[in-house]
């Protein structure tokens, strides 16, 4: 009674032909697609201001021009959050497409996530669970379109429908949540963005296949991929994705709170990793709400500094622009000198560094002509070799993504069935407030011995990501000896030393012994979130790789 669930999209803009690959490349019962992220909701919100009938992922509709036929032929259900701000609109468009293609495809959708946008917000959406999806599938839907649900709900919903799980079967639901979290980012589970990519055949990683989870009635699952596709599935790729954009031992959601400290991974064979032992608890009483709003206006200028005297050239530009910035000072002014230059370089580009100026302010005038005019006026009056990467613009609006919480009972979670029946989805019968998990006992430290100063990444993998203005950095190792060292060596204080940008920020370490992993959350490092582009790496995608590049003393026996 295995339920085979595949994924064909990890974000809005993912590989277009993945839908065809997944529907034709192997056995599936359900195909999911995740198109939404915090930034995507803001983009869709701005799109809908221009066209009220839009607000959904149009890419998905184009994929369904052939995907509906493949799914019908093979009996595969499709579940996607591509509905974005307008799941009913996408459902209607799919019905029209199915009629045009002559297919008897039954379309349903889930709504109720969209809440009143107050206080100048552009969008406000609650993260729904999988129960509405399960109701639609139970009513015979071939395609279920949702708005904002949790990424894992795309898997928990089909699992609830297929196995008939009740709302309080928390362990089983938690197993599906963990499987869903592994699938949600597509090829990140099959070798994409993998820390140890150098250990793999480059041909394997050229085009990773998308992942599949074989779910079982007891809540366990096997992560795999279609035969003959690229990439790989092993303990490392699954561990990396489990640590992506998570935090502590409790991973809360509207269906259940999954205990990540109970997850056990077992290698079953080539490209097969079993997830088992996951425990779950009642979900928290409130639903997370993602709120997007206009944050203000942003502009940037990137000066190219070439050859000698890089620091002095940068100092000259900053001094020359000081008066223009002081006359109408923007609320936020950031300078960053990236030393991309090389000594005695063979090309001009490799002899050059980049000096980046970013300004933000609620008033567009403070980020517009006053700044760009002053920068361009320096063209013949500044450092030798003056030029910029692109002419500065007039400033552009930027968004801010924030989180809030509302009681689950205040959200009108509704399944709109294929026949148009509107079915209210009840809130979970019980809930449990989140509280910290006591830190587990650490392993016995390694005995003292000779060490060598090397990059942390010689033995440790990492994956990092964003949640609003916060970031997480998951770090894991692959042997018990390495874990005995890492658990004691990589403390919060050591992380602060290795990543000076975390100084003054709230950093919390979470210990996950079953995964031989540490997960650090860093509050506020991304400012107001990805849409505000407050940081060079606004989604913290490479924060873990920066950490892996930092040097520290590692026991020679581990190298």
**What are 504's two structure tokens?**
């003054």
Same domain, 95 and 185: yes
Domain membership of residue 190 as a residue range: 3-290+403-424
302: nearest Cα among 210, 364, 390, 427? 390
DSSP reduced 3-state for 27: coil
d(CA 56, CA 359) in angstroms, rounded, equals 31
Q: Which class for 446: exposed (0-12), middle (13-18), buried (19 or more C-beta within 10 A)?
A: middle
Query: CB within 8 A of 356, min separation 6: which ones?
Result: 300, 301, 302, 303, 334, 335, 336, 337, 338, 536
Same domain? For 276 and 411 the reply is yes
- Determine which helix (DSSP H) or strand (DSSP E) holds 73, and give its type and residue range: helix 58-74
For the chain, what is the domain count? Answer: 3
Report the distance separating Cα 212 and Cα 79, nearest Å.
Answer: 14
Q: What is the pLDDT of residue 549?
A: 97
Residue 224 lies in a domain: yes
What is the helix, strand, coil percentage profile of the chain, to 5? 35, 30, 40
**Distance of alpha carbon 147 from alpha carbon 287, whole angstroms:** 15
Q: How many CA atoms lie within 13 A of 546 on its CB side?
A: 18
Sign, CA torsion 489/490/492/498: positive
Between CA 398 and CA 391 the distance in angstroms is 19
How far, in whole angstroms, is CA 203 from its chain's centroid? Answer: 26
Distance separating alpha carbons of residues 137 and 145, to the nearest angstrom: 11
174 and 72 in one domain? Answer: yes
Specify the pLDDT at position 531: 66
Q: Are residues 362 and 330 in the same domain?
A: yes
Q: Tell whether 482 is covered by a domain.
A: yes
Task: Report H helices in 422-523.
Answer: 480-489, 492-498
Assign 334 to helix, strand or coil. strand
Q: Give yes or no: residues 376 and 509 share one domain.
A: no
CB 132 within 8 A of CB 425: yes
Same domain, 98 and 164: yes
* Domain end call among 399, 416, 441: 399
Taking alpha carbons only, the member of 29, 30, 32 closest to residue 18 is: 32
Instruction: Write out the chain's pLDDT in tens, 559 residues.
Output: 899 999 999 999 999 999 999 999 999 999 999 999 888 888 898 889 899 999 999 999 999 999 999 999 999 999 999 999 999 999 999 999 999 999 999 999 999 999 998 887 888 999 999 999 999 999 999 999 999 999 999 999 999 999 999 999 999 999 999 999 999 999 999 999 999 999 999 999 999 999 999 999 999 999 999 999 999 999 999 999 999 999 899 999 999 999 999 999 999 999 999 999 999 999 999 999 999 888 899 999 999 999 999 999 999 999 999 988 888 899 999 999 999 999 999 999 999 999 999 999 999 989 988 788 889 899 999 999 999 998 877 888 888 888 899 999 999 999 999 999 999 999 999 999 999 899 999 999 999 999 999 999 999 999 999 988 899 999 999 999 999 999 999 999 999 999 999 999 999 999 999 999 999 999 999 887 766 666 788 899 999 999 999 999 999 999 9
Would 372 be classed as within a structural domain? yes
Domain co-membership, 206 together with 307:
no
Structure-token match 């803001």, residue found: 42
Q: Which helix (H) or strand (E) holds 90?
A: helix 87-101
Residues 142 and 182 both lie in one domain: yes
In 449-507, alpha helices (H) = 480-489, 492-498
Q: Which residues pair with 294 in a beta bridge?
A: 399
Q: Does residue 549 belong to any structural domain of this protein? A: yes
Quote the distance between the C-alpha of residue 92 and its chain's center.
Answer: 29
Instruction: Quickly tell me which residue has 């940081």 as its tokens.
Output: 535
Starting at the earlier edge strand, list the strands of the sheet with 107-111: 264-269, 272-276, 221-225, 211-215, 3-7, 30-33, 77-80, 143-145, 107-111, 414-416, 422-424
Listed residue (37, 87, 39) closest to 61, CA to CA: 87
> What is the C-alpha to C-alpha distance for residues 274 and 221, in angstroms, rounded to an integer?
6
3-state secondary structure 342-397: CCCCCCCHHHEEEEEEEEEECCHHHHCHHHHHHHHHHHHCCCCCCEECCCCCCCEE
Token pair of 326, please?
């002081």
Residue 350 is assigned to a structural domain of this protein: yes
Residue 226 lies in a domain: yes
Token couple for 111: 């709504």
Whether residues 352 and 473 share a domain: the answer is: no
Nearest partner of 174 among 287, 272, 264, 58, judged by Cα? 264
Within-domain flag for 437: no
The predicted model scores a pTM of 0.94
For 552, the token pair is 């520290």
* The pLDDT value given to residue 349: 96
CATH assignment at residue 327: 3.30.70
pLDDT attached to residue 420: 97
**pLDDT in the model for residue 371:** 82
Whether the CA torsion 292, 293, 294, 296 is positive or negative: it is negative
- Tell whether 482 and 534 lie within a shared domain: yes
Question: Do 407 and 375 lie in a common domain?
Answer: no
Q: Map tokens 């997850």 to a residue.
A: 263
Pick from 366, 399, 432: which residue ends a domain? 399
Q: Reduced to 3 states, what is the DSSP secondary structure of residue 160?
A: helix
- Compute CA distances 557 → 442, 448, 481, 482, 551, whole Å: 20, 11, 9, 10, 17
Judge contact between 302 and 317, C-beta under 8 A: no
User: Positive or negative CA dihedral for 368, 373, 376, 382?
Assistant: negative
Can you say whether the dihedral through the CA atoms of 59, 64, 66, 71 is positive or negative?
positive
Say how far apart CA 417 and CA 250 lie, in whole Å.
33
The number of CA neighbours under 13 Å toward the Cβ of 140 is 7
In a domain, 445, yes or no: no
- The verdict on 312 and 382 lying in the same domain is yes
């Amino acid at each position: 009674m295995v339920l085979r669930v595949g994924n064909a999209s990890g974000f809005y803009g993912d590989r277009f032909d993945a839908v065809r690959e997944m529907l034709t490349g192997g056995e599936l019962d359900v195909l999911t697609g995740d198109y939404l992220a915090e930034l995507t909701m803001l983009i869709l919100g701005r799109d809908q201001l221009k066209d009220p009938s839009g607000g959904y992922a149009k890419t998905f509709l184009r994929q369904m021009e052939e995907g509906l036929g493949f799914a019908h032929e093979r009996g595969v259900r499709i579940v996607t959050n591509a509905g974005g701000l307008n799941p009913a609109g996408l459902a209607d468009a799919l019905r029209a497409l199915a009629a045009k293609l002559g297919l008897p495809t039954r379309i349903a959708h889930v709504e109720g996530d969209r809440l009143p946008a107050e206080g100048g917000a552009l969008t406000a959406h609650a993260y729904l669970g999988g129960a509405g999806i399960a109701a639609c599938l139970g009513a015979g839907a071939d395609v279920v379109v949702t708005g904002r649900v949790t990424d894992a709900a795309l898997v928990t919903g089909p699992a609830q429908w297929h196995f008939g799980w009740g709302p309080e079967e928390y362990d089983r639901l938690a197993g599906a949540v963990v499987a869903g979290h592994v699938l949600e980012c597509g090829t990140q589970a099959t070798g994409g963005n993998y820390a140890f990519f150098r250990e793999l055949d480059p041909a394997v990683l050229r085009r990773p296949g998308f992942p599949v989870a074989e779910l079982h009635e007891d809540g366990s699952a096997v992560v795999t991929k279609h035969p003959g596709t690229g990439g790989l599935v092993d303990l490392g790729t699954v561990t990396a994705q489990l640590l992506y954009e998570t935090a502590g031992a409790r991973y809360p959601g509207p269906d259940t709170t999954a205990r990540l400290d109970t997850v056990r991974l077992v290698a079953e064979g080539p490209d097969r990793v079993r997830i088992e032992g996951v425990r779950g608890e009642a979900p928290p009483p409130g639903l997370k709400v993602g709120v997007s709003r206009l944050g203000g206006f942003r502009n940037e200028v990137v000066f190219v500094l070439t050859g000698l005297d890089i620091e002095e050239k940068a100092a000259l530009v900053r001094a020359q622009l000081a008066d223009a910035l002081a006359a109408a000072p923007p609320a936020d002014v950031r300078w960053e000198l990236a030393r991309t230059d090389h000594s005695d370089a063979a090309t001009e580009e490799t002899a050059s560094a980049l000096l980046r100026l970013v300004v933000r302010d609620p008033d567009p005038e403070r980020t517009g002509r006053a700044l760009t005019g002053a920068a361009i006026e320096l063209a013949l009056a500044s450092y030798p070799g003056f030029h910029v990467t692109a002419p500065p613009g007039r400033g552009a609006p930027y968004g801010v993504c924030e989180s809030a919480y509302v009681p689950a009972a205040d959200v009108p979670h509704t399944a709109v069935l294929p026949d148009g029946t509107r079915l209210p989805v009840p809130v979970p019968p019980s809930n449990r407030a989140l509280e910290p998990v006591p830190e587990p006992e650490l392993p016995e430290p390694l005995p003292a011995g000779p060490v060598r100063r090397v990059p942390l990444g010689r033995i440790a993998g990492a994956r990092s990501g964003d949640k609003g203005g916060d970031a997480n950095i998951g770090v894991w190792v692959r042997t018990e000896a390495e874990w005995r060292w890492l658990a004691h060596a990589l403390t919060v204080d050591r992380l602060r030393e290795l990543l000076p940008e975390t100084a003054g920020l709230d950093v919390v370490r979470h210990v996950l012994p079953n995964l031989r992993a540490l997960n650090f959350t860093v509050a506020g490092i991304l400012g107001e979130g990805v849409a505000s582009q407050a940081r060079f790496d606004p989604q913290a995608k490479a924060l873990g790789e920066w950490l892996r590049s930092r040097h520290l003393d590692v026991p020679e026996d581990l190298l």
